[in-house]
Structure 1
Amino acid sequence: MASRVATGIVWAAETGKWLDLRADGEPDDPARQAAWSDDREITGDELAEVLSVLQDRSVVVQVMGARVTGPVDLSHREFRGALWFDRCAFTGPVDFTESALSSLSVSRCHFAAGLGASHMTVTHSVLARRTVVNGSFRLRGSRIGGELSLRGARLSYPDGWALYAESCEVASSAWLCDGLVVDGDVSLRTARIGGRFGLDAEISGIVDAQDLTVRVLDDDPDAWPAGSALTGMSYERIGQRGDARTRLSWLARIVTSYEPQPYRALAHAYEASGHDTAARRVLIAKQRVRRASRRNRVHNLVSRPWSAILRTTIGYGFAPWRAIPWVAGILAAAWLIFATAPASAFTTSQPTGEPFRPFLHAVEALIPLVKVGGTEWIAHGGYVWWHTGFSALGWFFATVVAAGLAGVFKRD
């Protein structure tokens, strides 16, 4: 004989109404379902049987305030309609593995033994807002045609993946935010999110986002736990939170050993959004981290000073105009030194009556192969060393800028 709850589920689905089992004087919180009356109870087997009766109908099953006891096996089913549960308590494991349905909402529910929904196909959205799941919430390989929302939920599985959504495909946005608390790890490896990925949660474990593909990364950089994995993660654009400085701090905190791909992905997102300056800043930081990651101490004695020179003078080739103020400063110094030199410091073997012009001589000394004066002046005494030094600096900057423009220093 069907229970009162089972009969009510069929009636509500056929009439398009909610089956509201809440009672006055009883708590709404499904975590306190032990205080509920038996009139609100249905076994997992009964629920599965009732849903089997309705699975070929385009109806919305809407249940509020039910206590479902024992395991619920809804795997390998095809539901033409939608399943909406609100403030329901599930005392046993719930399994939607390889099922298909229009939409699934389990908002404000309490799952005492996990929620399995791997390889599930949902035409529209999966909503688990303010839901508590003790055990793993598994969405591995599932396909969701709308959005995935875990806003305000609490997922607890300290010994493993509290949220296991590897290879999950979400056509719209995925929201892991608005007070979401995760006691455990989160796997989004090889998942695909066609809209925004909102991450602003308290996560005790790590986030495995390797090869995650996102259209818009709309996260809080501080929400990513240390030790998370970002290798292979790609995104087309970045949301409003976090400028280049903040994002570089984010990468430095998460990517503890040098990996070029996370920096390339961040630079690509900035370039796609038209933020070329931010993109260059990221690529320059990538080169700095690459060079700093070398562990050979003897090599570092040369590499690190050389890296600092390349960073400050040409930005490793991404900002060659940084050399301009350096060259201008050296030119001014040469001009000053030559202008204050005694008359005997510079002579010419071609007496033309043309006076010695310190600025033109500084330009000739500093810029290779450039001749701007009609008379060749020869330095004497200590000014020979000044002239030679400025010429060497000129050749150095010319060579470094040319190599930077050619991409010699742009390595992974």
Structure 2
Amino acid sequence: MLTYEDLTEPERQVWDAFRTGAVVDLRAGSVAEDDPARGAAWGAERTVRAEAVAAVLLQAAEQGGAATALRLTGARISGQLDLGGTRSESELRLEACHFEQHVVLRAASLRSTGLIGCWIPGLDGWLLKVDGNLFFEDSVFEGRLTLTRAQISGELRLSGAQLTATELLGPDAVTPRGLHAPGAGSAPGPWALWAGGLRMEGGCFARKGFRSRGGLRLVGARFDGGLFMERARIDNPDGDALTGDDLTASTIVLSEGFAATGAIRLPGATVRSRFSLDTAVLDGGAVALDGSRLSAGDLQLTFAATPVGTVDLQDAQAAVLQDGEHSWPADTRLDGFAYSSIQLPPGGPEPVARRLHWLARLPGYAPQPYEQLAAWYRKIGHDDDARRVLLEKQRRRRRTLGPAGRLWGRLLDVTVGYGYRPWQAALWLAVLALLGTVVFAHGTPHEVQPGQSAPFSPLIYTLDLLVPIGGFGQRAAWYWTGLHQWFGYGLIAAGWVLTTTVLAGVSRSLNRS
């Protein structure tokens, strides 16, 4: 371990300033020259060895004085900063620094830590524990950022950070987490942030300017303070932009122009309050949003444009659903999606036709989405709209039946609207009665028993033919021959069909109510 005598002049400045928490600023004062991406060219006057940073952080307090914080700006950190498995009670804050090698914080226990505005070839924070905040604002990661099963009691700030996924090449690069190793090359990889099982007590902020070239893996992560990614951009066109199976969060905000190339996958995730995709742009290719089994309080799917790819909300749950004209792509899957309420637009309920158009996007017949929507219409007192939705459900189901089933379904639809429009039966009865009256008013009927029949009435005779049960006496007293006789047979058949469909439709309606 290094001693004070082993330190260079810049390193001794860091050592001396550590006891008071003062900032050591090694910047030259030129914006271009102080760019951390160009830090490999910085000279010895701006170079601090990684082992010296570790020595100061871990030993300076023991050498005398109460340790407060290590604050260093504008330095080239040579070698590998390895704090794996260590414990520190002091704050670490490195700003505008250039790291030659990836940072190792694996299984470390640290106080508030910040690598802000730095250029970093990757960071291994597997099992890291931070008592306080972890800041990476405006930093550039040219390698994977790993926070698998890390625990952070404060906030995680990634706003303005630039992440680029890389996979390692060469025998020296074979590590469990695929981070940069000495002598290894790199190639584009799928995951820029690997943070499965991350535990956040505070919020995670990856806002305005955050960009990831590679996916974010947040499987099983917990964000008690919420996940906020307004105006962020994630590009992983050949894979998933964000994967968060069984993720838990108080709030997720992917809004204000949030853009993702690659799928957003949150199957089984729980968002206790608001999950917002307001004005988001999703281009997932095959799958834009996989929210199967998702549970959310307020689900806002008011995208800026119709997502490219499937929106899958099968077996999802939401207390309140907010959607808009761009919410539902051609391939929308809603079977099992349950919601307590739909946010109404300004001015009151929207036309039911728009909701039916929404359900028409389903790739196949599934009764639950129709029944769910009808239940909501009943809840707000729109019984007519509920019946229209259920009628459309039966029409959609009819397409799945065989020829006989489709024919019977059409009869039910035309006559009584599957029981949801019983007034259609009365309309058919009136039309047939009028037609029969006109036809039987022209011509001369024959008495069954001459001189013993009541006077002939075209209207009553027609009704007698149409109503198969009971009778008004006309049908038994009078008969026709020729075309009138065949027309009468047609009315009898129509009466039986009408009666049968009325009974079937009413029975179906009662069973579904």
- Fold equivalence (TM over 0.5): yes
Q: Secondary structure at the match of 1:173?
A: strand
Other-structure match for 1:87? 160
Q: 1:191 to 1:370 in 2, by over 3 A?
A: same
Alpha-carbon offset, residue 371 of structure 1: 4.1
1:66 aligns with 2:66: no
Residues 237, 273 of structure 1: 8 Å contact kept: no
Alpha-carbon offset, residue 151 of structure 1: 3.8
1:191 aligns with 2:290: no
Alpha-carbon offset, residue 128 of structure 1: 0.8
Letter in 1 for 2:249: I
Other-structure match for 1:45? 103
Letter in 2 for 1:293: T
Other-structure match for 2:416? 314
Q: 1:303 to 1:154 in 2, by over 3 A?
A: same
Partners of 1:148 and 1:46 lie apart in 2 by: 30
Residues 350, 375 of structure 1: 8 Å contact kept: no
Unpaired runs of 5+ residues, structure 2, are 1-10, 22-28, 40-73, 76-94, 113-128, 166-191
Q: Give CA-to-partner distance per residue, 1:215-270, whole Å, 9 cap, x none.
A: 33322364433344333333333344764333333333341x33333333333343
Letter in 2 for 1:94: L
Partners of 2:292 and 2:228 lie apart in 1 by: 21
Residues 151, 175 of structure 1: 8 Å contact kept: no
Q: Secondary structure at the match of 1:140?
A: coil
Alpha-carbon offset, residue 337 of structure 1: 2.4
Unpaired runs of 5+ residues, structure 1, are 12-22, 27-31
Root-mean-square deviation (CA, aligned residues, Å) is 4.0
Other-structure match for 1:275? 382
TM-score, L = length of structure 1 = 0.76
Indicate the structure with greater strand content. 2
Other-structure match for 1:16? none
Other-structure match for 1:208? 312
Indicate the structure with greater helix content. 1
1:379 aligns with 2:487: no
Aligned with 1:112 (options 213, 225, 229): 213
Letter in 2 for 1:364: D
Other-structure match for 2:185? none
Q: Give CA-to-partner distance per residue, 1:259-308, whole Å, 9 cap, x none.
A: 333333333343334333333223222322322234xxxx52x4444332
Q: 1:233 to 1:51 in 2, by over 3 A?
A: farther
Alpha-carbon offset, residue 144 of structure 1: 0.9
Letter in 1 for 2:316: L
Letter in 1 for 2:111: V
Partners of 2:221 and 2:249 lie apart in 1 by: 8
Other-structure match for 1:248? 356
Other-structure match for 1:138? 243
Partners of 1:386 and 1:3 lie apart in 2 by: 110
1:123 aligns with 2:230: no
Aligned with 2:465 (options 354, 361, 365): 365
Residues 453, 477 of structure 2: 8 Å contact kept: no
Letter in 2 for 1:313: T
Q: Secondary structure at the match of 2:361?
A: helix
Other-structure match for 2:26? none
Alpha-carbon offset, residue 368 of structure 1: 3.0
Structure-to-structure mapping, 1:230-245, within 5 angstroms: 230-240=334-344, 243-245=351-353
Q: Give CA-to-partner distance per residue, 1:36-85, whole Å, 9 cap, x none.
A: 9875347673788999313665x566664333454333222332222233
Partners of 1:3 and 1:107 lie apart in 2 by: 34
TM-score, L = length of structure 2 = 0.63
Moved more, 134-143 or 276-285: 276-285
Q: 1:230 to 1:61 in 2, by over 3 A?
A: same
Q: Give CA-to-partner distance per residue, 1:188-233, whole Å, 9 cap, x none.
A: 1211112223242443332333222223332236443334433333
Residues 368, 395 of structure 1: 8 Å contact kept: yes
Partners of 2:156 and 2:36 lie apart in 1 by: 21
Q: 1:270 to 1:25 in 2, by over 3 A?
A: farther
Letter in 2 for 1:167: G
Alpha-carbon offset, residue 357 of structure 1: 3.1
Residues 251, 275 of structure 2: 8 Å contact kept: no
Other-structure match for 1:323? 425
Q: Secondary structure at the match of 1:75?
A: coil
1:76 aligns with 2:149: yes
Other-structure match for 1:155? 260
Q: 1:2 to 1:345 in 2, by over 3 A?
A: farther
Partners of 1:67 and 1:408 lie apart in 2 by: 63
Q: 1:199 to 1:24 in 2, by over 3 A?
A: farther
Q: 1:91 to 1:292 in 2, by over 3 A?
A: closer
Partners of 2:504 and 2:204 lie apart in 1 by: 58
Q: Secondary structure at the match of 2:156?
A: strand
Other-structure match for 1:18? none
Partners of 2:13 and 2:467 lie apart in 1 by: 94
Partners of 1:408 and 1:86 lie apart in 2 by: 56
- How many residues align? The count is 379
Q: 1:51 to 1:214 in 2, by over 3 A?
A: farther
Alpha-carbon offset, residue 313 of structure 1: 1.1
Q: Give CA-to-partner distance per residue, 1:82-125, whole Å, 9 cap, x none.
A: 22332222345223321222221211211233322221112232
Other-structure match for 1:97? 196
Q: Give CA-to-partner distance per residue, 1:111-142, whole Å, 9 cap, x none.
A: 23332222111223211111012333122111
Q: 1:375 to 1:163 in 2, by over 3 A?
A: closer
Q: Secondary structure at the match of 1:174?
A: strand
Alpha-carbon offset, residue 401 of structure 1: 0.6
Letter in 2 for 1:404: G
1:287 aligns with 2:394: yes
